[in-house]
Amino acid sequence: MKTLGYYNGSIAELDCLTIPVLDRACYFGDGVYDVTYSRNYRVFAIQEHLLRLFQSADIVGIRPRISPKELSMLICSLLRRMHTGENRIYIQFSRGTGARNHIFPQNSSPNLLIMMEPATLRDPYKSMKCITRPDTRFYHCNVKSLNLLPNVLASEAAARSGADECILLRGEIVTECAHSNLFLFKSGRMLTHPADEQIYAGTGRAHLMNLCRTVGIPVEEQYFSIAELKKADEVLVTSASVLCAPVTELNGVSIGKKAQETVRALQDALLKQFYDATNL
């Protein structure tokens, strides 16, 4: 298959898959999701992504009728149907199907949607341009929710400005980006926003933090301001699709580029982790 859509047991190309209008994902965004990538028909960090998916589901009271192990097996089975081994894999639980009502449906099981389409990681060595915008999201950012309108608006603002990402601010404090986590590297230390309700702590964030600790770079989860970000030796973006990319322009002004050898070494190591995990 060129693309694949799975919905509660039904399988079709994405442009042919049908979903009930009364799925609560359609009118409330009442669900959670996660995204990862495959290479050589091997899914990268699948257990980590499923752990986060089920954690998000638990926080909002969605109780999937499938276990993480069963879902992992299903994803790997579906992946074999694809005509290429390099794909983006999207996994979603919604609360269920029923008449529109803010109260949870009493007799409805969660719906499972899986989407696969050919895709590769963004080149991590390609630097990024960013803009800043106020962080107007709800205080449930630790949940990978389907409610992404503020993220969509921030991403569109970045695209219209010719930028790659939008860095979000609560007052003067930097939280994260519209669809990625953010790090500040200064004087040999790596800083990132604490994993609280104001950010979603992604797998890419965890991988970079673990790598830094392994190679002896101190990592601190602490708040930092936009003023501190502008003076950083390096600013790094992490996500499932980027791994680790440097930000070299912020609101049209050059930033970072003061520890490029360190950044390159981290990028090389993270890319090696991806290749090692997805080699045949």
Active-site positions read 144
Q: Tell me how far CA of residue 43 lies from CA of 77, 93, 117, 265, in angstroms.
A: 11, 19, 13, 24
224 in helix, strand or coil? coil
Q: Tell me how far CA of residue 280 lies from CA of 41, 48, 167, 276, in angstroms.
A: 9, 20, 37, 9
As a dihedral over the C-alpha atoms of residue 66, residue 87, residue 245, residue 230, rounded to 10 degrees, the angle is -60
The residue type at 135: D
Q: What is the 3-state secondary structure (H, E, C) of 187-221?
A: CCEEEECCCCCCCCCCHHHHHHHHHHHHHCCCEEE
Instruction: Give me the helices (H) in the chain, please.
Output: 24-27, 46-59, 68-79, 149-160, 203-215, 226-230, 260-278
